[in-house]
Amino acid sequence: MPEAPEPVLSTGPLLLIALGAVLLLLFLIMRVRLHAFVALVLVSLLVAIATRIPTGDIVDTLVGGLGTTLGSVALLVGFGAMLGRLLEVTGGAQVLADALLSRFREDRAPLALGIAALLFGFPIFFDAGLVVFLPLVFVVARRMGGSLLRYGLPVAGAFAVMHAFVPPHPGPVAAAELIGANIGLVLVFGLLIGLPTWYVGAYLFGTWIAERVHVPVPDVLGTGNAGQATDRAADEAVEGTTAGPGRGADGTGDQKQDGDGLPPPSLGTVLFVLLLPLGLIFLNTGLSTLGTAGTIDEEAPVVEWAILIGQTPIALLIALIAAMYLLGWRRRRSGSDVEEIANSALGPVCAIILITGAGGMLGAVLRAGGVGTALSTTLEDIGLPVIVAAFVISVALRVAQGSATVALTTTAGIMAPVIEATEGLSEPDLALIVIAIAGGATVLSHVNDSGFWLVSRFFGMDEKTTLKTWTVMETLLGTIGFSLALGLSLVL
């Protein structure tokens, strides 16, 4: 990152400008209902003027911050969204869930559903993943009996954890890009912290609260042909009669089909598509670490190529092309059909990509205006660690305006110049700060969060029950994730 120029204003006025920028941003988003992208651009412009950045440099600062962020975020989020959409449309989620349910005992159905959601949650966003899994969750809950929460919360929590903590989801990708963290390390720590966080905060809590709060299975998805097909598939999986993905109960037929009448992909294909990018990214991270330690020669051609294909954008591109072939062209889908599926994934993520870029714009302005240095100096004076400050700011933004993506992006934009001005932060420190920001952006989901209403309405719960269940679970997930990140930052 380029060094920030000497600020024109002193620390006091700069801190007031930073506070005023956050308050104005919240006012524009919450009260005026201005789109977050427009609000971030407007506030960035006003901060640039208030911090007395030279007039001739303002536009270059705004555009530079936007472009630098979009350079990597657009690739990661775009490829991830298309990969997830292909898995969703072709029935990959159903195959994965059916296979896990058929291999677990009945009393382990919540764990099986949660593991399936964790795997499928790597490339697909929270809301899409939850909607895809809901028919299966409802059928299993009816079959097994008891509260819907026993099966629904582990699934919802799995998608929430993956969406907040693990690239290529836009939140962690944006935060990593804005503060200069290594995406591979963010992925490693996201999984290392996210999995135990999910197990305690979603699976164990879900099974515990289900004994105390009974939520019946609602009839909100209808009983059309697609729903009946899902019911039959889930019944087979629960009874343990599904002989294998793409086969009938007797193991000889191919009764199950996806939404377009094609046989579903095999379990091995689904797992390969899901694990391919993870394996490539882990390869990159491992080789880079060994190279830094001097164990291997980073300049060896084989190592250089292995590191290249393990770069997150390249790994996702390879996985996406493999998915297009294995889930599409090889299964007799036309090229235009595969193109349409991939194209349909981009519309919903365009706003997220632009909001992320605008967050980078705000960070660039705060850096250029000297606000980052002022904040860093103040945190040092009061003895507040950067990772704690990142969590606190993220919590405040999450509670105030509801959107986890906006909280993640804005917090990372605010903290980026602070981190740049703070000495002694290692690569693991930066990755753990991303996790801390994600934890803060997860807690206390309430009535201003679209996820709150999505879960409330699909689970058939009133607001009070949703606060006692979903909100508590989200708070547990965010708090546990932050605590683990903070603990690792103290020992690494």
Report yes or no: 342 and 160 within 8 Å, Cβ to Cβ: no
Integer Cα distance of 173 and 187 in angstroms: 9
- For the ranges 97-101, 252-256, 258-262, 407-411, the lowest mean pLDDT is seen at 252-256
Distance from C-alpha of 62 to C-alpha of 209, rounded to nearest angstrom: 47
Tokens 């700069």, residue located: 14
Least confident of 37-41, 143-147, 463-467: 143-147
Assign 271 a pLDDT band (cuts: 50, 70, 90). Answer: confident
Looking at the predicted structure, is the pLDDT value of residue 30 above 80? no
Q: What is the pTM of this model?
A: 0.69
Tell me which of 69-78, 267-276, 434-443 is least confident: 69-78
How far apart CA 408 and CA 237 sit, in angstroms, is: 38
DSSP 8-state assignment for residue 54? -
Could you tell me which of 461, 335, 358, 485 has the C-alpha nearest to residue 409? 358
463 pLDDT above the threshold of 60: yes
- Which residue do the tokens 């967050």 mark? 359
- Dihedral (Cα; 308, 122, 274, 129), 10-degree rounding: -150
Q: Is the pLDDT assigned to residue 246 strictly greater than 70?
A: no
pLDDT, one tens digit per residue, over 409-426 is 888 888 888 888 887 888
Numbers of helices and strands, H then E, in the chain: 22, 0
pLDDT at 430: 93
Give every CB contact of residue 465 below 8 A, 6+ residues apart in sequence: 213, 215
In this predicted model, what pLDDT tens digit does every residue of 141-200 receive, in sequence order?
Answer: 887 778 999 999 999 999 999 988 988 777 888 888 888 888 888 988 999 999 999 999
User: Three-state SS for 409?
Assistant: helix
- Domain boundary assignment for the chain: 11-491
Instruction: For residue 265, give the nearest of 245, 283, 284 by alpha carbon.
Output: 245
Cβ atoms of 359 and 409 closer than 8 Å:
yes
Q: Model confidence at 321, in pLDDT bands (50, 70, 90)?
A: very high
Q: According to the model, what pLDDT value does residue 250 have?
A: 35
CA atoms within 13 A on the CB side of 360: 29
Q: Can you give the pLDDT at residue 104?
A: 67
Give per-residue pLDDT as tens, 67-101: 877 876 788 778 877 887 787 788 776 787 677 77
Q: Which whole number is the average pLDDT over 348-353?
A: 74
